[in-house]
Amino acid sequence: MVNKHYEVLVVGGGISGAALFYELAKYTDVKSIALLEKYEGLATLNSKGTSNSQTIHCGDIETNYTVEKAKSVKRTAKMVEKYCLQYGYENEFMFAHQKMAIGVGDKEVAYMRKRYKDFKELFPYLEVFEKEKLKEIEPKLVLDENGNERPESIVGVGVQSGEWSTVDFGRMSDSLVENAQKIESVVTDVFFNSQVTSIKQVGKVHEVEVGDVTYTADFVVVNAGAHSLYLAHRMGHGLDYGCLPMAGSFYVTTKKILNGKVYMVQHPKLPFAALHGDPDILINGFTRFGPTALALPKLERYHGNSTIIDFIKTLRFDKNIVKIFWDLLSDGDIRSYILRNFMFEVPYINKRLFVKDARKIVPSLQVDEIEYAKGFGGVRPQVLDKKNQKLMLGEASVNPQTGIIFNMTPSPGATSCLGNAERDVKLVCEYIGKTFNQKEFDRELVE
């Protein structure tokens, strides 16, 4: 049966879907919007507080960002801050922590000093923390278990206070939908336990099937993590892309070890985040180390093996996939990285092996001071570009320009949620003849 028609239908209730739902309700003249969420609540997968590093990635301490990328990410990161400040969510689910990136050893130290010079105009609040200053503000970075200074040179570049750095994106997802539903002039329906089984285009609208219920919409935006590409493929879109799900695991300390966020220099050959330490706002500020990176043959991590078949279908294995994997595995550094991260998942030896890596950040760290964080970490949909035979970094969208968009948003997708939603809102409004209030949007979230 046909249940109801909406002008816009959003599939997926993580932070990206929630941000789009909010912006459509608040900054456009769209009059009917629905959000379909597969599970019983919002943000139960990758946007959940335990599934990511809870970081507002603005580019100041992410050493794999170029200046140009940092400029772009900084704008969208500020939107997260401004949204939270607008509604008074500071110190409720948005927090300010000391944060820095560190260079260890002469080569990395030289790199960090140069990076500071390149980025200080974009981020004027950045400071250089020499070893003596680090001993004062983040002593665990410098002193070993005997209280002696580490022998390597070390420098930090970051900020001690005044910058919002940490968000529980799960709670932010809830707030976005709640605030959208307070707008009485717009129909803002949310349907939980609503797994989309089929989407098809019928004339100028799309029919979206959920069990025996069919919704229709003038425009559909799919923000369903790794399942976005799965649904795109089922419609015959995005066939030049495959999906490699990367799972990130974490280790948590049994006490507070670091005073703030500490990031390391990113290895230029490795496409995945370098190890970092963060004060986890869900476990009393105890330090969470990670993420590890493990290719996982399923699209969702903690829901049994039900998505293994979905992974196989979404990978679309062929000679182009073989070429991508061959190129990755032919590099010794990447092979070593993959093997090491696999070992981080093996009980007993995992902690002992992980501590060796984490000691680059905290030289005094002991095996009995950390625990494998069971149930933490999510799955990021790294997109494989089969046409160009390469692993894509960052976000990807499939837009056949027929009134539907499929978004895949690995890190920093949560930070970019409001900026990505702005992009999609403009596309939606242009396609269905609605108006986006850019002036109000800029006033509240940009200026």
Q: What is the pLDDT of residues 105-161, one digit of tens each?
A: 999 999 999 999 999 999 999 999 999 999 999 999 999 999 999 999 999 999 998
221 close to 20: Cβ distance less than 8 angstroms: yes
Q: Which of 79-88, 102-111, 311-320, 409-418 has the lowest mean pLDDT?
A: 409-418
pLDDT tens per residue across span 267-322: 877 766 789 999 999 999 999 999 988 888 999 988 777 899 999 999 999 999 99
Q: Where in the chain is the domain with CATH 3.50.50.60?
A: 2-98+161-445
pLDDT at 406 exceeding the cut of 80: yes
43 close to 174: Cβ distance less than 8 angstroms: yes
What residue type is 213 in one-letter code? V
Helical ranges in 57-105 per DSSP H = 67-86
What is the second-level CATH architecture of the domain 2-98+161-445? Answer: 3-Layer(bba) Sandwich (3.50)
The predicted structure's pLDDT at residue 444: 98
Q: What value does the mean pLDDT take over residues 21-44? A: 97
The predicted structure's pLDDT at residue 445: 98
Q: Tell me the HSE value of 388 on the side-chain side, using a 13 A CA sphere.
A: 6
What Rg value do the Cα atoms of the chain yield, rounded?
22
> 55 has which bridge partners?
166
Distance CA(201)–CA(207), nearest Å, equals 6
The predicted structure's pLDDT at residue 3: 77
**In 3-state terms, what secondary structure has residue 242?**
strand
Q: Which residues contact 352 (CB under 8 A, 6 or more apart)?
A: 367
pLDDT at 206 exceeding the cut of 80: yes
What residue type is 30 in one-letter code? V
Q: Which of 49-53, 116-120, 342-346 has the lowest mean pLDDT?
A: 342-346
